[in-house]
């Protein structure tokens, strides 16, 4: 645990509750905790994908069940002659309660299970790996301005080393923006007067789109950038070269 007030902290109590709720809802489908063993960094993108897949499967199964029951009722209770009046007896009290409570219990427990998993994943996600690279980000109409720890700056283009968690500490110089990196499944508002954070794990070399996901003005839709994930040696060489340029320009590099 970190003592710095601005350092992302672990919050265990909600996670414990979420775990408990998940266990209560469906003990047979116990969620695999996202908190990794020592030295192993979980990829949050994989966690969000897993949760999304779970939601899609669940609503599909529930949808099919509802459709089948409805189709069966439609056929079973169809009118067999014009002007026919139904003859079904009213439900007994136990029948009425059963029809209301059993479906609610079944489908609500699934809702609860998915919600608990989302809650747990979010809490795990907010706990940033200690071995990380930190970059400051100031957003403004209409650019993303990154500053590395050694003072090197870049605009709308963030180079990062493969295999290391990257933490962005963000603020805004004007209005509300939202730093969204779809490939890494992460998005967080950056706001004036406040520092928020977001982290992701680049696993392979390549480029990823960054876009603003909070309407911030007429050129909001042009507020795009990219993350360039590079092999660590290449990244370090690039960063050193940029730092040397900075030093040569007479600005302090640290
Ligand atoms: Cu914006």
- Which architecture, in CATH terms, is 133-248? Sandwich (2.60)
pLDDT tens profile 172-183: 999 999 999 999
pLDDT digits (tens, 9 = 90+) for 104-133: 888 888 889 999 999 998 988 888 888 899
Q: CB under 8 Å to 127, separation ≥6 — which residues?
A: 8, 9, 10, 11, 35
Ligand 1 centre to CA of 218 (Å) is 10
Say whether 195 sits in a helix, a strand or coil. Answer: coil
Ligand 1 centre from 197 Cα, in Å? 16
Q: What percent of the chain has pLDDT over 70?
A: 83
Question: Measuring CA to CA, which residue among 110, 160, 154 is closest to residue 242?
Answer: 154
Helix (H, G, I), strand (E, B) or coil at 244: helix
Distance 136 CA to ligand 1 centre (A): 16
Domains in the chain: boundaries:
12-126, 133-248
Higher pLDDT, 7 or 205: 205
Whether residue 9 is predicted with pLDDT greater than 80 in this model: the reply is: no
Of 192 and 31, more confident: 192
pLDDT band at 199 (very low <50, low <70, confident <90, very high): very high
In our burial notation (b when 16+ CB lie closer than 10 A, e otherwise), range 181-196 reads beebbbebbbbeeeeb
Write down the pTM of the prediction.
0.74
In this structure, what token pair is assigned to residue 231?
């092999």
pLDDT at 250 over 70: yes
Calculate how far, in angstroms, residue 170's C-alpha sits from the geometric centre of ligand 1.
13
Dist. CA 233–CA 247, nearest whole Å: 21
The mean pLDDT of the chain is 85
CA of 104 to the centre of ligand 1 (A): 41
* Alpha-carbon span 246 to 240, nearest angstrom: 10
Taking the centre of ligand 1 as the mean of its atom positions, its distance from the CA of residue 219, in whole angstroms, is 8
CB 253, CB 150: distance < 8 Å:
yes
Distance in angstroms (rounded) separating the CA atoms of residues 238 and 215: 33
Q: 43: helix, coil or strand?
A: coil
- 21: CA distance to ligand 1 center in Å? 37
Separation of CA 154 and ligand 1 centre (Å): 17
Can you give the pLDDT at residue 87?
75
**How far does residue 166's CA lie from ligand 1's centre (Å)?**
21
Distance 217 CA to ligand 1 centre (A): 7
Query: What's residue 191's pLDDT?
Result: 95
pLDDT at 1: 38
What is the distance in A from the centroid of ligand 1 to the CA of 173?
A: 11
Compute, in angstroms, the gap from residue 181 CA to the centroid of ligand 1. 13
- Tell me the CA–centroid distance for residue 194 and ligand 1, in Å: 16
């Amino acid at each position: 645990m970190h003592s710095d007030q601005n350092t992302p902290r672990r919050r265990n109590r909600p996670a414990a509750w979420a775990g408990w709720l998940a266990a209560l809802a469906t003990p047979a489908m116990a969620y695999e905790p996202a908190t990794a063993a020592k030295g192993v960094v979980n990829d949050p993108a994989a966690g969000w994908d897993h949760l999304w897949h779970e939601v899609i499967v669940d609503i599909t199964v529930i949808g099919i069940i509802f459709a089948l029951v409805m189709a069966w009722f439609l056929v079973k209770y169809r009118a067999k002659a014009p002007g026919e009046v139904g003859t079904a007896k009213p439900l007994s009290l136990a029948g009425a309660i059963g029809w209301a409570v059993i479906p609610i219990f079944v489908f609500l427990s699934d809702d609860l299970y998915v919600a608990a998993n989302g809650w747990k994943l979010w809490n795990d996600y907010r706990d940033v790996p200690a071995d990380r690279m930190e970059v400051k980000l100031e957003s403004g109409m209409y650019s993303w301005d990154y500053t590395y720890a050694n003072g090197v700056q870049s605009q709308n283009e963030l180079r990062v080393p493969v295999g290391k968690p990257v933490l962005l500490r963000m603020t805004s110089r004007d209005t509300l923006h939202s730093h969204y990196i779809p490939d890494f499944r992460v998005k967080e508002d950056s706001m004036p007067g406040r520092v928020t954070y977001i982290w992701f794990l680049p696993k392979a070399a390549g480029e990823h789109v960054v876009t603003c996901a909070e309407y911030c003005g007429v050129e909001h839709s042009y507020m795009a950038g990219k993350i360039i994930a590079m092999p660590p040696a290449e990244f370090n060489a690039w960063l050193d070269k940029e730092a040397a340029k900075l030093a040569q320009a007479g600005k302090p590099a640290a």
